[in-house]
Amino acid sequence: MSLLKRIEESASYIQSKLGGLKPQVGLILGSGLGAYADDLENPVCIPYSEIPGFHASTVVGHKGQLVAGTRDGVTVLAMQGRSHFYEGYQQADITLPVRVMKQLGIDTLIITNAAGGVNEAFKEGALMVITDHINFSGTNPLIGPNLEEFGPRFPPMTKVYDPTLRRKLLVMTQAESITLNEGVYMMFAGPNYETPAEIRFARTIGADAVGMSTVPEVTVAAHAGMRVIGISCITNMAAGMQEVHLSHSEVEEVATRVRSTFIRVLDLALQVIKAEE
């Protein structure tokens, strides 16, 4: 089946479950943040396993369902858990949910992740709003026939992380004395953590944080002309920058520790988007 047909099928299945609900904002919740979707008002939960074309996520700590609901008057469609490239899927497959969001009429995406800090000024537990990214995954979700219905063959990637939304979010977080760093996110395919040499390389070419997600989804969102806000939780300093071995349990532990601040930042991001509409 063609990619476009799969997107249309997924979207119409989700639409049938949503009733009249019209989500305005898409939300991709990374490690430790899944609980944000549990607090949406009047939630409608749709397990990925039920949705044609969706993959069930296999990573520990990721739930694997869509949750539609309202938060502070904004209707969101949240992904509680996501698929990753390192699980063995094609990038066109892991990004299908973003195209489905677009098909459902969603024009703004908030994407979150856990990342390793590369910028020496960062500390574990810091939050970073993504200003730009480096695709070091080795491939690209837009490879293959272009979906003209969504965007052009050669999309520009100059202002992917919406500068206006970012600036407004920084003003709102500053007003509440929440420190939000800014920086460039670099994607490695994973699933191993990087080597210290790779981290020195990442820093040399301009990365502030590294991770194993986000870039494919954001590339597809940019192709479709969606506005994007990306926020990383720096759960650890990257390889060679800290004494202890990197582990997924450390990543989860730190993500959980800063969850309440992260949730506040997400709420402020929703307010910024609401004020724009």
Minimum distance from CB of 215 to ligand HPA (Å)? 12
Chain-centre distance for alpha carbon 249: 20
SS3 content of the chain, % helix, strand, coil (to 5): 35, 25, 40
Stretch that binds ligand HPA, among 16-24, 111-119, 177-185, 269-277 (CB under 6 A): 111-119
Task: Rank residues 112 and 236 by Cβ distance to ligand HPA and give the closer one.
Answer: 236
**Which strand (E) or helix (H) includes residue 263?**
helix 259-276
Q: Which residue has the tokens 């994007």?
A: 228
Task: Rank residues 143 and 205 by Cβ distance to ligand HPA and give the closer one.
Answer: 205
Q: Report the sign of the C-alpha dihedral through residues 102, 84, 154, 110, in that order.
A: positive
Query: Is residue 114 part of the contact set for ligand HPA (CB under 6 A)?
Result: yes
Cα separation, 170 vs 216, whole angstroms: 25
Minimum distance from CB of 235 to ligand HPA (Å)? 5
Stretch that binds ligand HPA, among 34-42, 59-67, 112-120, 223-231 (CB under 6 A): 112-120
Minimum distance from CB of 129 to ligand HPA (Å)? 17
234 in Cβ contact with 155 (< 8 Å)? no
Which residue of 75, 235, 269, 272 would you call a contact of ligand HPA, by CB under 6 A?
235
Nearest one of 184, 194, 135, 190 to 161, comparing CA atoms: 184
Cα separation, 54 vs 82, whole angstroms: 10
Query: Is residue 246 part of the contact set for ligand HPA (CB under 6 A)?
Result: yes
Stretch that binds ligand HPA, among 39-47, 114-122, 139-147, 266-274 (CB under 6 A): 114-122
Which residue of 51, 115, 127, 184 would you call a contact of ligand HPA, by CB under 6 A?
115
Considering only residues 155 through 214, tell me which ones interact with ligand HPA, judged by CB under 6 A.
193-194, 210-212
Phi, psi (rounded to 5 degrees) for 252? -65, -40
Residues at the interface with ligand HPA (CB under 6 A): 114-116, 193-194, 210-212, 235-236, 238, 246, 251
